[in-house]
Chains A and B, each alone.
Chain A
Amino acid sequence: MTSDLAMMPAHQLVKLYKARKASPVEAAKSALARVEAFNPQLNAFQHLDPDGALKAARASEKRWKKGGKRLSDVDGVPITIKDMVLTKGLPTRMGSLATDENGPWTVDAPVSQRLREAGTVLLGKTTSPEYGWKGVTDSRLFGATHNPWKIGRTSGGSSGGGVAAEAVGMGNLAIGTDGAGSVRIPCSFTGLFGLKPTQGRVPLYPPSAQGTLSHIGPMTRTVLDAAMMMNVIARPDPRDLYGRPDDAEDYLKGFDKGVKGLRIAYSPNLGFVEKEKIDRDVAVAVDAAARVFKTLGAKVVEDSPDFMGMDPRQILNAHWQSNVAVLFKGYSPEKQALMDPGLVKAAEVGANLGQEAVVTAIHQRQQVGVIMNAFLAKYDLLLTPTMPMTAFAVNENAAWGGDGVDIGWTPFTLTFNLTRQPAATIPCGLDREGLPIGLQIVGGHARDALVLRAAAAYERVRPIPAPPLAHQV
Chain B
Amino acid sequence: MTHDLTQMTAAHLGKLYARGKVSPVETMKAVLARTEAVNPILNAFCTVDTEEALRAARASERRWKNGKALSPIDGVPVSIKELVRVKGWPASMGSKLTDKAPSDADAPAVARLREAGAIVFAQSTSSEFGHKGVTDTPLNGVTRNPWNTGMTPGGSSGGAGSAVAAGLGPLGIGTDGGGSVRIPSSFNGLIGLKATYGRVPNWPPTLNGDFSNTGPMCRTAHDCALMMNAIARPDPRDPTQLSADDTDYVKVLKRKPGKPRIAFLLRMSEHPLDIEVAAMVTKAARQVEKLGAKVEEIEAPPFPHVDAGKSFVTHWLTNSARLLDLYSEARWGEFDPNLLAGAKAARERYSVKDVVEAQAVRREVAVAWNLFFEKYDFLLTPTVGVQPFPVLKNAPDGLDGKPNFAWSPYTATFNLTRHPAASVPCGLSSAGLPVGLQIVAGHFKDAAVLALAGAYAEAHPLKFPILPETK
| Residues of chain A in range 351-373 having any CB-CB distance to chain B below 8 Å | 351-360, 362-363, 366-367, 369-370, 372-373
Query: B331 within 8 Å of A by Cβ?
Result: no
- Kindly provide the distance from the CB of B317 to the nearest chain A CB, expressed in whole angstroms: 10
Query: A390 within 8 Å of B by Cβ?
Result: no
Interface residue from A245, A376, A445 paired with B444 (Cβ < 8 Å)? A245
Query: B328 within 8 Å of A by Cβ?
Result: no
Q: Are A370 and B205 in contact (CB under 8 A)?
A: yes
Q: Are A367 and B205 in contact (CB under 8 A)?
A: yes
The answer for the CA separation of A377 and B237 in the assembled complex, in Å, is 9
Q: Are B360 and A209 in contact (CB under 8 A)?
A: yes
- Kindly provide the distance from the CB of B436 to the nearest chain A CB, expressed in whole angstroms: 26
The answer for the CA separation of A182 and B243 in the assembled complex, in Å, is 26
- Kindly provide the distance from the CB of B55 to the nearest chain A CB, expressed in whole angstroms: 30
Whether A355 touches B354, Cβ cut-off 8 Å, given contacts A245-B443, A247-B243, is: yes
Whether A355 touches B363, Cβ cut-off 8 Å, given contacts A244-B242, A374-B236, is: no
Interface residue from B205, B209, B352, B444 paired with A325 (Cβ < 8 Å)? B352
- Kindly provide the distance from the CB of A185 to the nearest chain B CB, expressed in whole angstroms: 23
Stretch at the interface among A26-34, A223-231, A235-243, A309-317: A235-243
Query: A88 within 8 Å of B by Cβ?
Result: no
The answer for the CA separation of A369 and B418 in the assembled complex, in Å, is 19
Interface residue from A323, A363, A367 paired with B356 (Cβ < 8 Å)? A323
Q: Are A243 and B443 in contact (CB under 8 A)?
A: yes
- Kindly provide the distance from the CB of A177 to the nearest chain B CB, expressed in whole angstroms: 16
Q: Are B351 and A355 in contact (CB under 8 A)?
A: yes
Whether A363 touches B322, Cβ cut-off 8 Å, given contacts A238-B371, A351-B352, A377-B236, is: yes
Query: A222 within 8 Å of B by Cβ?
Result: no
Most buried by A among B240, B241, B245, B352: B352
Whether A420 touches B352, Cβ cut-off 8 Å, given contacts A245-B443, A366-B209, is: no
The answer for the CA separation of A376 and B237 in the assembled complex, in Å, is 10
| CB nearest neighbor in A for B365 | A241
Query: B350 within 8 Å of A by Cβ?
Result: yes
Query: B47 within 8 Å of A by Cβ?
Result: no
- Kindly provide the distance from the CB of B381 to the nearest chain A CB, expressed in whole angstroms: 20
| CB nearest neighbor in B for A362 | B209
Query: B7 within 8 Å of A by Cβ?
Result: no
Q: Are B236 and A373 in contact (CB under 8 A)?
A: yes
Please encode chain B, from 228 to 259, with 1 for each CB lying within 8 Å of some chain A CB and 0 for all others.
00000000111111110100000000000000
Interface residue SS majority, chain A: helix
Query: B367 within 8 Å of A by Cβ?
Result: yes
The answer for the CA separation of A12 and B366 in the assembled complex, in Å, is 41
The answer for the CA separation of A373 and B237 in the assembled complex, in Å, is 6
Q: Are B209 and A363 in contact (CB under 8 A)?
A: yes
Please encode chain B, from 354 to 393, with 1 for each CB lying within 8 Å of some chain A CB and 0 for all others.
1111011001101100110110000000000000000000
Q: Are A446 and B243 in contact (CB under 8 A)?
A: yes
Query: A65 within 8 Å of B by Cβ?
Result: no
- Kindly provide the distance from the CB of B33 to the nearest chain A CB, expressed in whole angstroms: 40
The answer for the CA separation of A242 and B371 in the assembled complex, in Å, is 13
Q: Are B239 and A369 in contact (CB under 8 A)?
A: yes
- Kindly provide the distance from the CB of B105 to the nearest chain A CB, expressed in whole angstroms: 12
Residues of chain A within 8 A (CB-CB) of B353 are 325-326, 329, 351
Most buried by B among A238, A241, A374, A446: A241
State the B residues within 8 Å of A (CB): 203-205, 207, 209, 236-243, 245, 318-319, 321-322, 325, 346-347, 350-357, 359-360, 363-364, 366-367, 370-371, 373-374, 417-418, 442-444
Other than the known A238-B370, A350-B352, what 9 A-B pairs have Cβ atoms closer than 8 Å? A211-B359, A238-B442, A241-B417, A245-B245, A350-B356, A352-B352, A355-B354, A359-B355, A367-B205
Give me 25 A-to-B residue pairs in the complex whose CB atoms sit less than 8 angstroms apart, sorted by A's number. A238-B442, A240-B370, A241-B366, A244-B243, A245-B242, A245-B243, A245-B245, A245-B443, A247-B243, A247-B245, A322-B355, A325-B353, A326-B357, A352-B352, A354-B352, A355-B346, A360-B325, A363-B207, A369-B239, A372-B239, A373-B236, A376-B236, A445-B241, A445-B243, A446-B243
3 shortest interchain CB distances as A-B pairs: A369-B239, A241-B366, A377-B236
